Structure 1
């Protein structure tokens, strides 16, 4: 039986959204710390579940304090919990993310912001052969949970690639991520962590494929120095 996300999580964030200031937060900080401790235990439990099907090195739950230095929104506190799960070793690329917010909870996985070299390598892979990635994306179980790619694309073909290429829909992508949204009721259900874990388990073939791409050259030679 999984630990359930405490119902107080969303009720607290709803109150914080209406009172997003330091005085109110400091008055309610003990309440927040209790909730944070319970939620962090849920993230840790999810990490242990994920370790049954992937090599997860660590979990990081992000702080509630917002960096307002370069933001027009000067509210000092986030009204959500967010946490990421890092895959271990240089051979395992990609990651997982869990976001808990009233009316806006979701999970995400994949490659948020590939650097210039990784992005070029991924595009060259799809230019050379897009059969394997399309097979992964077309898997019914995977598609039923994750749908298709989301994220940014370029408007036309990237420099050096033909806009007539059959895989141009993949080549134009700048991000290679998947997301799945949840209602508040789903998040607070007793089996939520199991549902999330099963969704993450389904994405393993995609992450492993992309890891192979990003750790080899186009001839399949490993780029990792043992």
Structure 2
């Protein structure tokens, strides 16, 4: 992963099309290294979460080119690589496992991290999750506790418990969530460890109960007419 980090550090300092075209081979090498890792990561997660078996690289990875049409940030390229491994692929609406590699202090998340959960879910999915929390909040809490080394991270929660739920609910803070995500920030030492793949698989295995719980609610939402 050293070559991946090296490239990402360079693109963060030279985020323009001229530099990118002159160094495209370095990008392609970094991308191929990352994709090879993700392919093995999919297989590894599949050993404890069969719902993601059969996914391909294309199902889980994103374009490196940024869509700058409606953004004030006009840098044409990302400064990270990311892969979202979830049932039926990254656009399915299901909860999954996100692997993110980025130099510390740069770009999208300001560093590398492992996430499990949902970011900006559709309203009907969020409603279904809140309904499940109101009925089985103790189970939801147990899945969070089981994810040792991860923390529940939503930087955009509601200020109040949503309408229709008791303000004094013991699970009020969970009901306020808009992005139910477990997060584990990792440093460069973690990314460059020779056992990165094994360590990442082991970490995500701790979040499988959380992911499965969320996807039960997602499935309920999709089944509603």
Task: Tell me which interval the TM-score lies in, with the shorter structure as reference length.
Answer: 0.7 to 0.9
In the comparison of the two structures, how many residue pairs are matched? 211
Tell me if 1:64 matches 2:75. no
Give the whole-Å Cα distance in 2 for the aligned partners of 1:125 and 1:18: 45
Root mean square deviation, CA, Å: 2.3
**1:177 aligns to what?**
181
What is the TM-score when the length of structure 2 is the normalising length? 0.85
User: Is the CA contact 2:154–2:177 (under 8 Å) kept in the aligned structure 1?
Assistant: no
**1:130 aligns to what?**
137
User: Is the CA contact 2:161–2:173 (under 8 Å) kept in the aligned structure 1?
Assistant: no
- Structure that is richer in helix per residue: 2
> Unaligned 5+ residue runs, structure 2?
105-110
Larger-Rg structure: 1
**1:186 aligns to what?**
190
Q: How far did residue 156 of structure 1 move? A: 0.9
Structure 1 residue runs of 4 or more that deviate by more than 6 Å after TM superposition: none
Q: How far did residue 209 of structure 1 move? A: 2.0
What is the TM-score when the length of structure 1 is the normalising length? 0.85
Higher relative contact order (CA 8 A, sep 6+): 1
CA separation of 1:131/1:68 partners in 2, compared to 1, >3 Å: closer, same or farther? same
Q: Deviation digits for residues 22-80 of structure 1, max 9, x if unmatched? A: 11111101121122112211111111111111121424221211111111111111111
**1:35 aligns to what?**
30
Q: Deviation digits for residues 79-113 of structure 1, max 9, x if unmatched? A: 11111112259xx9411111111111111111212
Give the whole-Å Cα distance in 1 for the aligned partners of 2:75 and 2:201: 32
**2:85 aligns to what?**
85
SS at match of 1:129: helix
